[in-house]
Amino acid sequence: MPITLINPSGLPEIDAYRQVSIATGSKLVFVAGQVAWDSDGVTVGEGDLAAQVEQCYLNVGTALAEAGASFDDVAKLTLYVVDWTPDKMPRLMAGITRAAAKLGAAPVPPASLLGVAALDVPEHLVELEATAVID
């Protein structure tokens, strides 16, 4: 596996992700920001952050699989959340947990969460992009 995830001593351990990923593969996979669309382009979970987070992770999983990768190969995730406030964390984590159960993987690579004013359309609450490394 080309990705090793670690939490260096001296940095806090965060349950939702690891602080560092070490990539040793030879191919990079860049997944465009995925929003809560189903395969027909219909928004899933309008107004429901957890449902949209879940769908974003599932969409990233689909994109990774097409490239011959999985969440085990992801070196970095970036989440963009509309009008982010810390009280939204339980709903965000609920969506990640549900997606992880469906994917059969715990997506815990280094991650950044950015609060944004808006995304592509008003009904989208979250967008997720990924970078993976494969052999």
DSSP string, 95-133: HHHHHHHHHTS---S-EEEEEES--SSTT--EEEEEEEE
Any bridge partners for residue 4, and if so which? 22
pLDDT for res 108 = 83
- Closest of 133, 12, 126 to residue 78, by C-alpha: 126
Q: Residue 120: how many CA atoms within 13 Å on its side-chain side?
A: 10
pLDDT for res 114 = 98
- The pair of structure tokens assigned to 101 is 């159960």
Q: Residue 70: how many CA atoms within 13 Å on its side-chain side?
A: 8
User: Is 0.75 surpassed by the pTM of this model?
Assistant: yes
Q: Residue 135: how many CA atoms within 13 Å on its side-chain side?
A: 4
pLDDT tens-digit map of 42-60: 999 999 999 999 999 999 9
* Edge-first strand listing for the sheet containing 74-82: 27-34, 126-134, 74-82, 111-116
23: three-class secondary structure by DSSP:
strand
pLDDT tens-digit map of 102-125: 999 887 899 999 999 999 999 999
- The pair of structure tokens assigned to 85 is 């406030």
7: three-class secondary structure by DSSP:
coil
